[in-house]
């Protein structure tokens, strides 16, 4: 589970064996990544659905997924769940501070409950202060 820090949260790194497996899976199943910084690779679009894969000095890695709720994301949600299954990882919502079972139904439900999803559907309700 992640832990709170000033200004946000931090997540535990993937151990080297899991990181290697996840990286190989991403290379096999997705388009070629682009490099954001040294040791930081992005699989996907800068402003869209994507995985961020950051290698650490100790050969572990940090992996995160960004779902763009303003675009078609059904296939990407399936991809996120498949990668979680392959690596034996759970998913986590920082917004709701809860783990998510790596199933399409659970991840889709969490996305539908997100502030970002509500914003895409009705920006005024979120920006106008009527958000829960």
Kindly tell me the sign of the dihedral angle through the C-alpha atoms of 27, 75, 40, 102.
negative
Give per-residue pLDDT as tens, 57-80. 999 999 999 999 999 899 999 999
**CA-to-CA distance for 123 and 131, rounded, in angstroms?**
10
DSSP string, 60-112: -EEEEEE--TTS--HHHHHHHHHHHHHHTPPEEETTTTEEE-SSHHHHHHHHH
pTM to 2 decimals?
A: 0.87
What's the pLDDT score for residue 3?
83
**Residue spans of the chain under pLDDT 50:** 131
Q: Which of 98, 90, 93 is nearest to 116 (CA)?
A: 93
What's the pLDDT score for residue 90?
86
Q: What domains can be seen in the chain, in order of their start residue?
A: 12-89 (3.30.310)
């Amino acid at each position: 589970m992640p832990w709170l820090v000033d200004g946000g949260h931090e997540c535990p790194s993937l151990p080297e064996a899991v990181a290697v497996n996840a990286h190989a899976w991403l290379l096999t199943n997705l388009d070629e990544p682009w490099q954001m910084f040294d040791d930081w690779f992005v699989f996907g679009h800068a402003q869209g659905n994507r995985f961020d894969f950051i290698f650490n000095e100790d050969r572990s890695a940090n992996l995160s997924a960004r779902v763009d709720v303003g675009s078609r994301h059904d296939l990407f949600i399936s991809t996120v769940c498949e990668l979680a299954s392959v690596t034996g990882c759970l998913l986590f919502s920082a917004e709701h501070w809860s783990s998510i079972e790596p199933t399409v139904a659970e991840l889709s439900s969490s996305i539908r409950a997100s502030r970002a999803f509500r914003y895409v559907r009705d920006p005024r309700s979120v920006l106008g202060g009527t958000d829960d």
